[in-house]
Structure 1
Amino acid sequence: MQEKPEVRSNKDRTEGTRSALLAAARQLFSEKGYAETSTPEIVRAAGVTRGALYHHFEDKVALFRAVLTEEYRAVAEEITGLANSVPGSAMDALRQGSRGFLKAMAVKGRVRIMLRDGPTVLGQTELDKIDRDTSADTLRLGLTAAMEAGEIRRLPIDALTAQMSALFDRAALAVSEGDDPDDHLAVLDAIFLSLK
């Protein structure tokens, strides 16, 4: 008896094509950077046609935005996973979240995509929107929880979140260039403690 070949639905084929494009683009963007990656390279690596690329994404910027959004989601999952892994205070969650962030940012190519090319290609306003949409603003929520618990003093939350976020990004860049992550975590921990 002969087995019937598996028939994939249009939805499965569509999702498969989109996934192949995202995976190929992510690899090329992480290895070569946005500017040095061409759409013909992406479709060749994904094993699809240019028509398939433009069916799913308006242009290279839209494809990059989709890749970047996936990176933000992955980082948010790592932060949330570690922050929620240890019962304790809001400050403990912030400290664990710091570790989750640096661990997530150590994934090959992530710093290049998120911190080097992201601001250039999309601009900081768009990155902030993606961050809010994908991570539910984990840092802001953690800082707010620590303020409400009386673990840190009340400060303007928008300014505090922006400045702490910049510190985290700078730490990730430095670690990607060879700095010891423990050194940066020690400094971030001290900064959190100084907010009391």
Structure 2
Amino acid sequence: MQERRTNRERSEGTTATLIAVARQLFVDRGYAETGTPDLVAAAGMTRGALYHHFADKRALFRAVVVAESRAVADAVERSAPGGHDPVADLVTGGEAYLDAMAEPGRSRLLLIEAPAVLGPADAAAIDAEHAGRTLREGIEAALAAGAIRPLPIAALVTLLGATFDRAALAVSEGMSRSDCAAVLAEVLNGLRS
């Protein structure tokens, strides 16, 4: 006998389906070229179902960006062992970031489309909750341990985050991942006290 799903389980399933379908369409076509009729057709749902779960296409896109950002942060957190060398942990986290951002379409979604569609402030706020948070925590740990020179944390997070993002874009455009990882490691190791 098949178990009946609760309304909450059905709602969560519908939301997850819409996010997964939207992600694929946004990657394949871009935000601007993806219409709500495309989204509901690909999901096999009605427009009513879409609007029941999301206010509009932009809200659905935001949910995709949050899910992608969360996936990147999860990958970074799984990679960093939290050992005795916080700088080595930052390097390992940076490599995990590059690997996570190599997921097809992810760099474009998070680094190009998100700021354009959601605005730079909202895109940055989402990042600050997820991948940016992991970088901030890693830098805070390195500063607290005296492993890196005492520099302003906001500037470190902003500038290192921009460096990681640019590396992810470069890799997505065909640059060698190992070259980018090697340079990032040198940058991080150059901060050692």
TM > 0.5: yes
Give the root-mean-square deviation of aligned CA atoms.
1.4
**1:177 alignment counterpart:** 173
Deviation at 1:88, TM superposition (A): 3.2
Q: Which letter does structure 2 place at the counterpart of 1:119?
A: P
The 2-side partners of 1:184 and 1:171 are apart by 6
- 1:59 maps onto 2:56 in alignment: yes
Farther off after superposition, 103-112 or 125-134: 125-134
Deviation at 1:136, TM superposition (A): 7.2
Q: What secondary structure sits across from 1:35 in the alignment?
A: coil
The 1-side partners of 2:170 and 2:38 are apart by 30
% identical equivalent positions: 50
- 1:161 maps onto 2:157 in alignment: yes
Q: Which letter does structure 2 place at the counterpart of 1:48?
A: M
Deviation at 1:6, TM superposition (A): 4.3
Based on CA coordinates, which of the two structures has the bigger radius of gyration?
1
**1:40 alignment counterpart:** 37
The 2-side partners of 1:69 and 1:36 are apart by 20
The 1-side partners of 2:120 and 2:10 are apart by 34
Deviation at 1:134, TM superposition (A): 3.2
Q: What secondary structure sits across from 1:152 in the alignment?
A: coil
What is the aligned length? 192
Farther off after superposition, 22-31 or 128-137: 128-137
Deviation at 1:87, TM superposition (A): 3.0
Deviation at 1:187, TM superposition (A): 0.8
Deviation at 1:150, TM superposition (A): 1.4
Give the TM-score of the pair, scaled to structure 1.
Answer: 0.93
Pairing partner for 1:30 from 27, 31, 37: 27
**1:69 alignment counterpart:** 66
**2:140/2:153 contact within 8 Å kept:** yes
Pairing partner for 1:149 from 145, 149, 164: 145
Pick closer, same or farther for the CA change 1:165–1:187 going to 2, 3 Å.
same
Deviations 1:54-77 (A, max 9, x none): 110011110000000000000001
Structure 2: gaps of 5 or more residues? none
Q: What secondary structure sits across from 1:160 in the alignment?
A: helix
